[in-house]
Amino acid sequence: MANRIRSLALVGLLMGGFAMPASAQWYVSPLAGYDIDFEELLVGVSFRFPITSAMIADQPLSIVPSFEFYPAVENATLFLVDVDGVVTIPASGFEPYLGAGVFVRRISIDAGVVNVSDTSVGLNAGGGARFGTANVKPFVEGKLRLGDGSTFTARGGIQIMIGGGGGN
């Protein structure tokens, strides 16, 4: 429980440390994917908050926190929280992007008389592409996570604008 509180506090500090102007477009993204190394399906949600005061190569940095849950893991609960910094690469017709950040993975195993839990922290890097209009943007992406072992996930979903007006 203490690790979960520390993880949530870290996400809050990372997000609260940046000014997000009202003109920036904020997105919520239901997502689904597959973890190649765990060989498990995942579902989750992510958010995208552009920080127009933080520019990289003339593109705004976006903070992208996300939550993933692995519903089909037998006799266990597995979830992951991560926060990435993401930069869009200028292109026409779609929006490729690259990102990197930190994650916290929690697994709890209930095998009858044996109950085991583990929390690991690590780094992730990845990239993807967004498509579509300003209000709804389907996306696909891949993430490599390095920590207590490594995993690669392929994810996709739909980013839906929930606030703001201009920006990326």
**Least confidently predicted of 22-26, 81-85, 152-156:** 22-26
168 domain-assigned: no
The token duo for 24 is 């920036």
**Domain of 69, in residue numbers:** 2-20+27-163
Query: Quick one: pLDDT at residue 65?
Result: 97
DSSP for 42-70, please give it: EEEEEEEEEEEEEEETTEEEEEEEEEEE-
Establish if 14 belongs to a structural domain: yes
Judge whether 144 lies within some domain: yes
Name the nearest CA neighbour of 81 among 163, 167, 15.
Answer: 15
Q: How many CB atoms lie within 10 A of CB 28?
A: 15
CA distance to 50, 89, 109, per residue, from 148 (Å): 30, 30, 17
Quick check: is 100 in a domain?
yes
CA dist., res. 40 & res. 107, Å (int): 13
**Phi, psi for residue 22 in degrees, rounded to 5:** -65, -20
Distance CA 61, CA 139 (A): 18
Lowest mean pLDDT among 5-19, 41-55, 141-155: 5-19
Residue 87 lies in a domain: yes
Q: Which of 8-12, 109-113, 127-131, 151-155 bottoms out in mean pLDDT, i.e. has the lowest?
A: 8-12
Structure-block tokens of residue 119 = 């929390």
Domains contained in the chain, number: 1
What is the CATH number for 119?
Answer: 2.40.160.20
Does residue 142 fall inside a structural domain?
Answer: yes
Query: What's the whole-model pTM score?
Result: 0.80
**Alpha helix (H) residue ranges in the chain:** 2-16
Beta bridge partners of 155: 33, 141
- Nearest-angstrom CA–CA distance, 145 and 21: 31
Burial class for 17, CB neighbours closer than 10 Å (0-12, 13-18, 19+): exposed
pLDDT, tens digit (0-9, with 9 covering 90-100), for 26-56: 899 999 999 999 899 999 999 999 887 767 7
Confidence band for 148, pLDDT divided at 50, 70 and 90: confident
